[in-house]
Amino acid sequence: MSVDVISPAVVDSRYEPLRVMVVDDSVVIRGLISRWIEAEPDMAVAASLRTGLDAVNQIERINPDVAILDIEMPELDGISALPQLLAKKRNLVIIMASTLTRRNAEISFKAMSLGAADYIPKPESTREISAADVFKHDLLQKIRHLGAKVRRLKSATTPSIVPAPAAREAAPSFKSVTSVAAQAQLVKRPFSATMPRALLIGSSTGGPQALMTLVAEIGAVIDKVPVLITQHMPPTFTTILAEHLARASKRPAREGVDGELVKAGQVYLAPGGKHMRTVRQGANIAIALDDGPPVNFCKPAVDPLFTSAIDVWQGAILAVVLTGMGSDGMRGGKDIVAAGGNVIAQDEASSVVWGMPGAAANAGICSAILPLNQIGSKVVRLFSGDRS
C-alpha cells in the first residue's frame, strides 16, 4: 500500500488550501483526481488511499477537509467507511463517487441520509474525454463549494478533528453573524395577489434531502395543483429520486414523459440528461422534454422549466429555489416575477450551498427567504389564499 500525505501550500494570507483525501481502489482514478486537485490553487491532495479501511485508520493523521469516497472498494467499502469517518471527524465533507448504476445510485442516496454531503457519478471510461471533462468540472466545483464551509483560517486554534456526538447533527448551521445581518438586509417583494395554479421547484447540491423534506409537508398543495421539479442530477439518479419523492409525499411522483398531460395530484421530476418544459396543448398542459445543450452548465436546468411555465400559467406561479451551486433559477425566477408570480428562496443557514437561492435572493426577486423547515408551511398557506 502506497500512501502519499502532502502538506498543503498557503494560497493567500488568510486560508489554507482545502485538504482533500482521495479514496478509490483504482490507481488510474486516484491519479487522475489527484492531478486535477493539485492543479487548483485553493486545494491540495492530503492523501491518496486505496480502501475505506486505510481512510478510517489514518484520518486523524491526514486531517482532511474533504474526502472523495468511492463506493466499491476492497476491505471496507464507501458506505461502511462513511459513518466511521464521520464518527472521527464530524465536520468532514464527504462526496461519494460511483459509476452510474442503479445499485450505486441507491447507495449514494443512502449515503446522503447518513451524512455524506453530496455524490458524483464517475464516467464509465476516463478515455471518454467529454465525460471526463464534465466529471472534472463537477468534482472540482463540489469540492470548492462544499469545502468552503469548513475552510480553516491559518490562525485557527480550534482542533479540526472533533469526535462526533452519538447522534450527528442532521443540518449544522454555518451561518455567521455577518451573513445573518446581510440576509436581513435583502430586499423582499410583497407577495402578489394572484392565486398560484402551479408549484415549480429548482434545486441542486443538497437538493435530494431538501426535496424529500419539502414534499412531505405539501401534500395538500400536490392534491390541488401540479408540482414540477428540476433537480440537477444524471439519469438513473432521477429515476430513484422520483421513487423517494413518491414515498416521502405519499403522492404519485415520477420523471416527466414527453407529451404527457400535466395534472394536479402528481409530482413531475425532470429526467436526468433532459430539460423539462411545459407547453400548451389545446386546452391542456403537457410536458415537453428538450435534448438541447446545457443551460447554466446543467442538464436538466431550472431556468427552462421556470421560463416555459409563464406561457402556460402566466403569473399564476409559485417558484421555490432550494439549495444548490451556481445561479440556475434566478433568471427564470425574474421572468416569473415580471409576469406577476412569486419566488421563495431557501435561506443560507439551512442550505448545503447558498448559490442558487442566494442568487435569487440577491437579485431582489424573492418574497420570502426561509429556512427549509418553514418553506412547506408557507407554501401551503399561499395556496390556501394567505398572502401574509
Q: Report pLDDT digits (tens) over 286-308.
A: 999 999 999 988 999 999 999 99
Alpha helices in the chain (DSSP H): 27-38, 52-62, 78-88, 102-113, 129-147, 177-185, 207-215, 219-224, 237-249, 302-313, 330-338, 356-362, 372-382
Estimate to the nearest angstrom the gap between the alpha carbon of 253 and the chain centroid. Answer: 19
Q: Is 339 a residue whose pLDDT tops 60?
A: yes
Query: Rg (Cα) of the chain, in Å, rounded?
Result: 21
Task: Give the pLDDT confidence score for residue 363 in this predicted structure.
Answer: 97
Residue carrying the nine cell digits 468540472: 137
Q: In the predicted model, what is the mean pLDDT of the chain?
A: 88
* Tens-place pLDDT, residues 218-260: 999 999 999 999 999 999 999 999 999 999 999 999 999 999 9
Confidence bin at 171 (pLDDT 50/70/90): very low
What pLDDT is stored for residue 141 in this prediction? 94
Residues labelled catalytic: 204, 232, 328
Given a cut of 70, whether residue 271 has pLDDT beyond it is yes
pLDDT grade for 16, boundaries at 50, 70 and 90: confident
In sequence order, the β-bridge partners of residue 268 are 228, 254
What's the sign of the alpha-carbon dihedral 330, 332, 336, 339? positive
360-382 tens-digit pLDDT: 999 999 999 999 999 999 999 99
Average pLDDT over residues 150-165: 50
Per-residue pLDDT tens digits for 211-226: 999 999 999 999 999 9
**Which residue from 325, 266, 256, 315 is spatially nearest to 286, judged by alpha carbons?**
256
pTM for this prediction:
0.86
Q: Which helix (H) or strand (E) holds 278?
A: strand 275-281
What value does the mean pLDDT take over residues 95-112?
A: 91
Q: What integer pLDDT is reported at residue 5 of this predicted model? A: 42
Residue 180: pLDDT band (50, 70, 90) is low
